[in-house]
Chains A and B, each alone.
Chain A
């Protein structure tokens, strides 16, 4: 399909651009991982120089970038200095947990905000609509960090959910069913924080796009035929309103990933977040670049999924794609 091929090429170009940007920034960096060693009188400057050349840090920018590209093609994404292993497997072991958290949060967010948004638009100006609008505009303006800390405080104080990490200490001794239950109980708090923050954003957009469609002539006509309200909303309005909502999916993913980094650190969820933060603090350059690349990869992947969905749901895009052909 021409449309998808173009999207795919764009995604690859975007990833290459992001990696180039990362390397440009490393060039500007005055410090490095070995700064701490330099302070240690027991390590000679020669040792540090040898280490630097061992990791290829003394090479010019283009050479380093070329080497990194080669290693990226081998699915290594460079070498972590602090962990002394290739970056990609290390990140992947954590990225799985981030994916579990963000996918759960994403699905829940959409499952909650689409019906809420449609409902609010349907009863425009009603009590429910006003409550939803007010609550969402308040939640949108509260920083995610505050939501996370506040909910964490509530959860810890009243011992509602399991807090910290992904599994209990006795995880290994549990049965398969209890293991799943344990993970879900740990997942609940970080996922809830993310869902709360994201729903506030998305409900507004769903409501606005449904409202716009409700005024369209085709809907007026359908109403004139005496179609029931529920059928009107879900069969006639929602598919038309889906386009802007699905386009939003791509954008909301960026917010979700940033939010998940924060929530992971606050709640101790062993995802990419704590790893990247640690790498930032120890200036483990390739691990940080790898983390940014992983997040960009998720974003690009999510956007591709949104594009495919758009193609499936919106006939207008299909004909556009045909025309462009």
Chain B
């Protein structure tokens, strides 16, 4: 159990570090287009050539064989050009980017010499490197999930505490409203709320709008959970005793009642983050979220709405794979938290 938790936490930390330093791990700029290489398949890593085995992997450049006929499958469009080898080098300098949004640098983890290209997940319709886009797009998608979760949990726990602690008509009216929110299919509701807000905005404003909307819709369930906990904690003997010693409401909440909700809130966070990442991805997939050219997993996947693209260019499913991996890590973590919580309470 402990090792499993440790592995999960390590995976979580690793994937988030990769996203945080996306610029470093990505070999190319996510928005730079290469019109000569649309829908190029992933480059194959080679270890062997005519002269034998090399420890350092190398790649060949793609040359397009048949221009203008995009309906053909990719094998007919691109062929490896064996005339020149491009060995993969580590810690190379490439296109410059801002690390963590502040520090301007051009260091990349790996890359090959120009004009060769190492495309781990192929390219999209505009010849942009899919691997770099998955990393940089993940920053936005995952951050959206986390921020939306913070908003939902914050709003939910504040309202839940008010409802559970002060009770009576406040409790009844607040719980009536939560029922309203819980009784709606969330995606219809999400689209509805989105319809009332402006469509085309700058990326930053879209981001906060989206997370706000997702969090706004999600506050109801945490509010109910917190309310239940506060309700039962309020009448514990030690709380009543502290109240008898004239402890203020704020003191009672902070010292005795709030700590009881932390475990549940943590479990909820691990459950909600992947769900809200998926919500952002769904909205962007529908064209209601983050707009091009800024990548997000959602707007990258929306290219697959055309059946021809879906069938011919399987590597464009890379953001979906990244999404699955993130979701599985988070929800396994939620399982672990949940079973711990259960074992404490019994």
Contact = CB atoms under 8 A, between A and B. Distances in A.
Interface of A: 14, 17-18, 21-22, 25-26, 28-31, 137-138, 140-146, 149-150, 152-153, 156-157, 163-164, 253-255, 257-259, 261-262, 265-266, 276-277, 279-281, 283, 285, 288-289, 291-292, 295-296, 298-300, 303
Nearest to A256: B185
B186 interface: yes
A245 B342 CA distance: 22
Chain B: interface size category: 35 or more
Contact of B310 (A146, A156, A253, A259): A156
Interface stretch (B148-156, B249-257, B326-334): B326-334
A259 B188 CA distance: 10
Contact of A257 (B185, B282, B314, B328): B185
Nearest to B193: A25
B324 A149 contact: no
Interface of B: 176-177, 179-180, 182-189, 191-199, 274, 277-278, 281-282, 285-288, 301, 304-305, 307, 310-311, 314, 317, 320, 323-324, 327-328, 330-332, 335
13 contacts: A29-B195, A31-B198, A141-B328, A141-B330, A255-B185, A257-B185, A258-B188, A261-B188, A280-B191, A280-B286, A281-B288, A296-B184, A298-B185
Contact of A143 (B197, B198, B274, B304): B274
Contacts of A146: 320, 323-324
Nearest to B189: A292
Contacts of A253: 185
B191 A288 contact: yes
Contacts of B323: 143, 146
B158 to A, nearest CB: 20
Q: Which of B179, B183, B317, B328 counts the most A-chain CB atoms under 10 A from its CB?
A: B183
B184 A141 contact: no
B311 A254 contact: no
Given A257-B185, A261-B185, A149 B282 contact: no
A14 B183 contact: yes
Given A145-B301, A153-B311, A254 B186 contact: yes
A90 B227 CA distance: 41
Given A21-B180, A277-B286, A288-B192, A142 B185 contact: no
B286 A163 contact: no
Contact of A22 (B192, B281, B288): B192
B331 A18 contact: no
Contact of B274 (A141, A153, A276): A141
> Counting chain A CB atoms within 10 Å of each CB, which of B180, B196, B278 scores highest?
B196
Query: Which one of B176, B278, B314 has the greatest number of beta carbons of chain A within 10 Å?
Result: B278
A137 B335 contact: yes
Contact of A145 (B195, B281, B332): B281
Contact of B192 (A25, A156, A262): A25
Given A31-B198, A140-B331, A156-B310, A299 B180 contact: no
A295 B196 contact: no
Contacts of A255: 185
Contact of B188 (A164, A266, A276, A300): A276
Contacts of A296: 183-184
Given A143-B323, A149-B304, A253-B185, 16 more contacts: A18-B183, A18-B184, A31-B198, A150-B317, A153-B304, A157-B311, A164-B307, A254-B186, A280-B192, A288-B191, A291-B192, A292-B188, A296-B183, A298-B185, A299-B183, A300-B183
Contacts of A279: 195
Contacts of B314: 153
A30 B198 contact: yes
Contacts of B288: 280-281
